[in-house]
């Protein structure tokens, strides 16, 4: 038995969930393992259909794994019905009981656990305070706004003090401004309660801003687990690189490797210095990734400054920054780059111009294929 401090909050061990039979069988979660630490804000990120919600439902107990184990603080809960698991869920649709008031909703879990009336009342009051909803305790859930429903759903799930809180895209129904507010609110609640949060989202920005660690999922598998910076700066593979943020992919051939830095010969950009992933040895064909914000436009044909050149195809103004799409000289690859807008400065280049592209040092990375 490992020591308590090392114990994971949730440990997924070789879990698969297959829907359907025979030739129609489909593994929503495919032999996946991951360990979620105590008190962390852990995010499952991926496109719709990647299996993230299924994995969450497996932890909640709404689905049961076809194979594998789910350990909650060291106990295997894979076959335990949901009402016995000390885990609560904030549903995407909130799933507030429409025939109950805000307070009755929040007290539901504790009442089901058969807690004394006074304790339930106190705890509901504390929860209402925590989510700043004291004034609306007696309202029906149909009489409050979407943002308020969201808070009630949170309070309801937190009230029984679960070991783990599961959040299934809880912010997707809110408009932009409210979503930003709730992101901060969620972080605050997680810090205040010290409960492990497992958060499911398809919104990479949301994942990057909120999480302690992120697991990127695709086709039922976890491709990479890491903190937001690792995920963004050092994507493990092409999918992660493509899914998180915008990325340019350049094909090339490794000429030499020195101290973790590879010199990659590319057809378009000449030789680029690119960081090699850890424990990765390769030669021959590789793909180099480059974030749009790590490149900038420069006047063409300035050797030493610009690595590449092409035709500026279009310029898209985004307020904070401007995106440029450049068709490189091979006439096929379109390179995207992004420059921050400065006050009183118009576009430096116009569509149709020939432009050069300068790449920042240490910005390029070789992808693990």
The reply to whether 67 sits near other proteins by the rule CB under 8 A is yes
The reply to whether 157 sits near other proteins by the rule CB under 8 A is yes
Query: Tokens 């308020």 label which residue?
Result: 148
Give the residue, chosen from 98, 116, 194, 304, that forms a contact with other proteins under the rule CB under 8 A.
98
End-to-end CA, the chain = 38
The reply to whether 61 sits near other proteins by the rule CB under 8 A is yes
The reply to whether 60 sits near other proteins by the rule CB under 8 A is yes
The two beta strands, 164-168 and 75-76, are unpaired
Decide: 113 and 160 in contact? Cβ < 8 Å: yes
> And the tokens for 112?
């089901």
The reply to whether 142 sits near other proteins by the rule CB under 8 A is yes
The reply to whether 287 sits near other proteins by the rule CB under 8 A is no
Binding map of other proteins across residues 159-188, x = CB under 8 A, - = no contact: -x----------------------------
The reply to whether 101 sits near other proteins by the rule CB under 8 A is no
User: Cβ 43 to other proteins, closest distance in Å?
Assistant: 20
The reply to whether 78 sits near other proteins by the rule CB under 8 A is yes
CB-neighbour burial class of residue 68 (10 A; exposed 0-12, middle 13-18, buried 19+) = middle
Q: Edge to edge, what strands does the sheet with 354-359 contain?
A: 295-298, 354-359, 308-317, 321-328, 334-340
Q: From the centroid of its chain, how far is CA 353?
A: 37
Give the residue, chosen from 7, 71, 95, 137, that forms a contact with other proteins under the rule CB under 8 A.
95
Q: Candidates 27-35, 84-92, 212-220, 284-292 — which segment interacts with other proteins by CB under 8 A?
A: 84-92
What separation in angstroms does the CA of 60 have from each of 10, 63, 164?
11, 8, 9
Give the residue, chosen from 93, 314, 341, 369, that forms a contact with other proteins under the rule CB under 8 A.
93
Binding residues among 104-123 for other proteins as defined by CB under 8 A:
108-109, 112-113
Query: Tokens 């050069």 label which residue?
Result: 356
Query: Tokens 């010199």 label which residue?
Result: 263
Cβ closer to other proteins: 87 or 240? 87
The reply to whether 79 sits near other proteins by the rule CB under 8 A is yes
Cβ closer to other proteins: 112 or 191? 112
| Beta strands in the chain, from DSSP E residues, in sequence order | 10-19, 26-36, 41-45, 67-72, 75-76, 87-90, 164-168, 196-201, 213-218, 221-226, 248-258, 261-266, 270-275, 284-290, 295-298, 308-317, 321-328, 334-340, 354-359, 365-366
Q: Candidates 57-65, 181-189, 240-248, 316-324 — which segment interacts with other proteins by CB under 8 A?
A: 57-65
The backbone torsions φ and ψ at residue 43, rounded to the nearest 5 degrees and listed phi first, read: -115, 135
The reply to whether 88 sits near other proteins by the rule CB under 8 A is yes
The reply to whether 81 sits near other proteins by the rule CB under 8 A is yes
Phi-psi region of 317 (alpha: psi -120 to 50; beta: other; left: phi over 0): beta
Number of residues counted as binding other proteins (CB under 8 A): 33
Distance of alpha carbon 343 from alpha carbon 33, whole angstroms: 49
The reply to whether 156 sits near other proteins by the rule CB under 8 A is yes
The reply to whether 25 sits near other proteins by the rule CB under 8 A is no
User: Cβ 166 to other proteins, closest distance in Å?
Assistant: 8
The reply to whether 259 sits near other proteins by the rule CB under 8 A is no
The contact set with other proteins (CB under 8 A) reads: 60-62, 64-69, 78-79, 81-84, 87-89, 91, 93, 95-99, 108-109, 112-113, 142, 156-157, 160
């Amino acid at each position: 038995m490992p020591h308590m401090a090392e114990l994971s909050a949730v440990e997924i061990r070789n879990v698969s969930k297959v829907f359907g039979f025979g030739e129609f069988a489909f593994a929503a979660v495919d032999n996946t393992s991951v360990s979620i630490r105590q008190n962390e804000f852990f995010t499952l990120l991926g496109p719709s259909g990647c299996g993230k919600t299924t994995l969450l439902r497996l932890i909640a107990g709404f689905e049961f794994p076809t194979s594998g184990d789910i350990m909650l603080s060291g106990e295997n809960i894979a076959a335990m019905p949901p009402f016995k698991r000390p885990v609560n869920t904030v549903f995407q649709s909130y799933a507030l009981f429409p025939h109950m008031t805000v307070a009755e909703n929040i007290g539901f879990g504790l009442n089901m656990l058969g807690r004394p009336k006074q304790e339930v009342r106190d705890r509901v009051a504390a929860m209402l305070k925590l989510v700043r909803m004291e004034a609306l305790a007696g309202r029906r859930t149909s009489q409050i706004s979407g943002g308020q429903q969201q808070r009630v759903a949170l309070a309801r799930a937190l009230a029984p003090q679960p070991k783990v809180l599961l959040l299934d895209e809880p912010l997707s129904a809110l408009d932009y401004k409210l979503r930003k507010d709730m992101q901060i609110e969620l972080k605050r609640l997680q810090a205040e309660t010290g409960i492990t949060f497992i958060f499911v989202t398809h919104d990479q920005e949301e994942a990057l801003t909120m999480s302690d660690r992120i697991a990127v999922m695709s086709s039922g598998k976890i491709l990479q687990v890491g903190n937001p910076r690792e995920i963004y700066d050092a994507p493990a593979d092409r999918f992660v690189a493509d899914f998180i943020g915008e990325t340019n992919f350049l094909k090339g051939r490794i000429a030499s490797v020195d101290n973790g830095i590879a010199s990659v010969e590319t057809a378009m950009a000449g030789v680029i210095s690119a960081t090699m992933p850890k424990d990765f040895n390769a030669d021959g064909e590789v793909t180099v990734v480059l974030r749009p914000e790590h490149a900038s436009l420069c006047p063409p044909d300035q050797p030493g400054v610009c690595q590449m050149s092409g035709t500026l195809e279009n310029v898209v103004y985004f307020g904070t920054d401007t995106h440029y799409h450049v068709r490189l000289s091979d006439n096929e690859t379109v390179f995207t780059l992004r420059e921050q807008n400065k006050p009183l400065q118009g576009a430096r280049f116009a569509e149709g111009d020939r432009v050069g592209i300068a790449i920042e040092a240490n910005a390029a990375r070789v992808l693990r294929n």
